[in-house]
Structure 1
């Protein structure tokens, strides 16, 4: 839905629910790998302080699990009273640099590592959870009610700790997303069968979060448009092995909009369970991913890498074509993610009717990229989309080029003798 020539300035203050961030730039949720004790560390605080000082309007902390078994491994934060002091120090640091703080809430579901968590992974049914080399436990009415309460409790704690916004993770085949997927959700009860049934759990969670925070925080969801399995827009008569497609996602978004509990939707794509590279695009760091694991997992990744880690050519704003379908389907605010690296891609998003843009890998390379672009619109990102940052989530999420671990292909060759 193009609005023609836009006069909207990406660096001007904007409205997002009850918030007025200083600009339309959001540091998207990217697991930082800096919580070794499942608590906020000084390292995590400095990571977000640096990003906030670099000029974004909102910095999103990820990944904040709503329960111990909802983590991808036991080192991730889960929302509980013991985490409160660290979370307050974190939001204070972000606010001190003039940005707002968002917390991404989720439950990893089939992406959880049940071995590391020492607790069964959950899912809509008994589906593979490769990280724990087991099947998920099918959620019953009691566990669904517990999950909804956990999201609400986490939201209340977040607001008490100074967070301004909450992102609910309905993407990448994490738990709520696995319920949305026709490939993974074969339930025949009220939480399955149809798009509306598969969206029921997400809608209940969103309502519970809104009830918990009222107008004290903005609430948005990261919603997968396409799992990267099958065909993006195959419609209701698609191949039975297709995951969530754009038509079903748009129908889900219309349900979310009609409910009226969200302030925005952030379209995403790909699956941490089945096809992670569809989210990232660019080079697929297969050898580096395998090296981040040990034993059976390393061998399995080496064998499956050509299928599991596919290559998708990078281009700026690469998720825009999928997100445009959502833009046609709902009128509520949308956040464009994927390949936002310069003033041109920001402006394209605004011209196409998107209200905010989200940046990820480019900020790992240059946390102050927003300020550089604001001061000089011709600035180009030094991120080369090599995706070598992806395997670092298992140690400490970083740009290996920035840290000098690998050569910078954009630097002039050393001509010294």
Structure 2
């Protein structure tokens, strides 16, 4: 993040355009599951969460994990887009708009990350693979199922737009369903949706095209695209033991760009199924994760924590090395995610050619951080990247350090979380 600021580098706080949208600045609240929909519908708590972020100064707030169907949820408490949800969604977008920000909905299907036991429905996948949350195996989609999936994305997109959302993010990351189709490790099909990269990318392209066909040009549409699943080496050749890789990500980004239906790409990384910490970097709160579950999942996480929840050292702009590859591969606007927490990082990323900046954990700690950085460029984020916010998604997503001012970082242990 030491790129010198070139003449003409955009001001992160100046108005910008994303597709058809005029945004008040270049900062976007990234999709971070809120855990505030206990009945799978919008609550006042969810509205207050996004209103606070909008007041804090971002140009757009993204509502996370808006599942397109009931079996596409990570569990039954997660919201899915259906007519019954429209009234609450409209109240939500109205609240965001009232504070001068835009509203985006993240459309996705959890695939093998879904909890089939909680959802009381089979988890889906490109092939028959484990779905650990429900202690089950996935149902491998056939061609008719895939057609139904495209239709479900269209229906969800229509509900979102009719409810006032200005933008739609199509989730093609983290080994959710579309991301699983992209993965040579998880996609073992031998039909038109498996094998070659062209085939593995077919579902992502068809879903993006279906969504754009449904909503037209009145809203912005972008894809959240994995650059690396965190499985195998970054530069490893395709093979049985390697997940989706940055070389393939660049090729898929070019295919999506050639289709002419997206306004941007948001590169991401990691796998909720295989390696979640690669997305976040920083401390792996293993004990806190295990304590968020009961029964076999708790004991499984206690035993496999060091393997499943790996430690990756945090550094500002930690996804930049991979994202630069994607930046070079396409001309589409790129929304940079990962360790953007201060003015220096913002300026450096924009000087590198990125167009918009996504913020997540730092806004959980300080929703007004953008506003304060704009007022004082020397402002430092209070987020310490302890990742204790991650296990809270199973109850109500929050920053424990913000909720409990008495919490002291000197009691923090990398493997055990905060000591009693």
Q: Does TM, scored on the shorter chain, surpass 0.5?
A: yes
TM-superposition CA deviations, 1:316-349 (whole Å, max 9, x none): 1000000000011101100000000000111111
Give 1:90's match in structure 2, choosing from 92, 110, 117. Answer: 92
Per the TM alignment, residue 229 of structure 1 is displaced from its structure 2 partner at its CA by: 0.2
> For the residues of structure 2 that align with 1:61 and 1:257, how far apart are their CA atoms?
24
Mapped contact 1:6–1:350 kept (Cα < 8 A): no
User: Does 1:112 find its partner at 2:120?
Assistant: no
Match of 2:314 in 1: 314
User: Does 1:185 find its partner at 2:187?
Assistant: yes
User: Does 1:292 find its partner at 2:292?
Assistant: yes
Alignment of 1:228-247 (within 5 A): 228-234=230-236, 237-247=237-247
Match of 2:158 in 1: 156
Tell me: CA distance 1:369–1:3, structure 2 relative to 1, closer, same or farther (3 Å). Answer: closer
User: Does 1:76 find its partner at 2:89?
Assistant: no
Per the TM alignment, residue 102 of structure 1 is displaced from its structure 2 partner at its CA by: 0.1
Match of 2:416 in 1: none
> For the residues of structure 2 that align with 1:196 and 1:210, how far apart are their CA atoms?
20
TM-score of the aligned structures, taking structure 2 as reference length: 0.96
User: Does 1:262 find its partner at 2:266?
Assistant: no
> For the residues of structure 1 that align with 2:6 and 2:192, how far apart are their CA atoms?
43
Tell me: CA distance 1:255–1:2, structure 2 relative to 1, closer, same or farther (3 Å). Answer: farther
Match of 2:417 in 1: none
User: Does 1:272 find its partner at 2:253?
Assistant: no
Give 2:141's match in structure 1, choosing from 133, 139, 153. Answer: 139
SS at 1:402 equivalent = helix
> For the residues of structure 1 that align with 2:79 and 2:53, how far apart are their CA atoms?
20
Alignment of 1:10-409 (within 5 A): 10-234=12-236, 237-404=237-404, 407-409=407-409
TM-superposition CA deviations, 1:207-265 (whole Å, max 9, x none): 0000111011100010000000001122xx34530100000111100000000100000
Runs of 5+ consecutive residues of structure 2 not aligned to the other structure: 412-420
SS at 1:60 equivalent = strand
SS at 1:104 equivalent = strand
Per the TM alignment, residue 43 of structure 1 is displaced from its structure 2 partner at its CA by: 0.2
> For the residues of structure 2 that align with 1:101 and 1:231, how far apart are their CA atoms?
36
Per the TM alignment, residue 186 of structure 1 is displaced from its structure 2 partner at its CA by: 1.0
Mapped contact 1:2–1:352 kept (Cα < 8 A): no
More deviation, 353-362/401-410: 401-410
Tell me: CA distance 1:404–1:18, structure 2 relative to 1, closer, same or farther (3 Å). Answer: same
Per the TM alignment, residue 313 of structure 1 is displaced from its structure 2 partner at its CA by: 0.3
Runs of 5+ consecutive residues of structure 1 not aligned to the other structure: 412-417
TM-superposition CA deviations, 1:289-339 (whole Å, max 9, x none): 000000100000000100000000000100000000001110110000000
> For the residues of structure 2 that align with 1:400 and 1:6, how far apart are their CA atoms?
40
Tell me: CA distance 1:383–1:3, structure 2 relative to 1, closer, same or farther (3 Å). Answer: closer
> For the residues of structure 2 that align with 1:395 and 1:371, how far apart are their CA atoms?
28
> For the residues of structure 1 that align with 2:7 and 2:274, how far apart are their CA atoms?
39
Q: Aligned-pair RMSD on alpha carbons? A: 1.4
Mapped contact 1:230–1:239 kept (Cα < 8 A): no
TM-superposition CA deviations, 1:372-392 (whole Å, max 9, x none): 000000000000000000000
Tell me: CA distance 1:405–1:125, structure 2 relative to 1, closer, same or farther (3 Å). Answer: farther
> For the residues of structure 2 that align with 1:278 and 1:331, how far apart are their CA atoms?
26
Per the TM alignment, residue 5 of structure 1 is displaced from its structure 2 partner at its CA by: 4.4
TM-superposition CA deviations, 1:13-56 (whole Å, max 9, x none): 10100001100000000000000000000000000000000000
Mapped contact 2:184–2:238 kept (Cα < 8 A): no
Per the TM alignment, residue 4 of structure 1 is displaced from its structure 2 partner at its CA by: 4.0
What is the number of equivalent residue pairs in this alignment?
A: 409
> For the residues of structure 2 that align with 1:216 and 1:117, how far apart are their CA atoms?
33
Mapped contact 1:178–1:184 kept (Cα < 8 A): yes
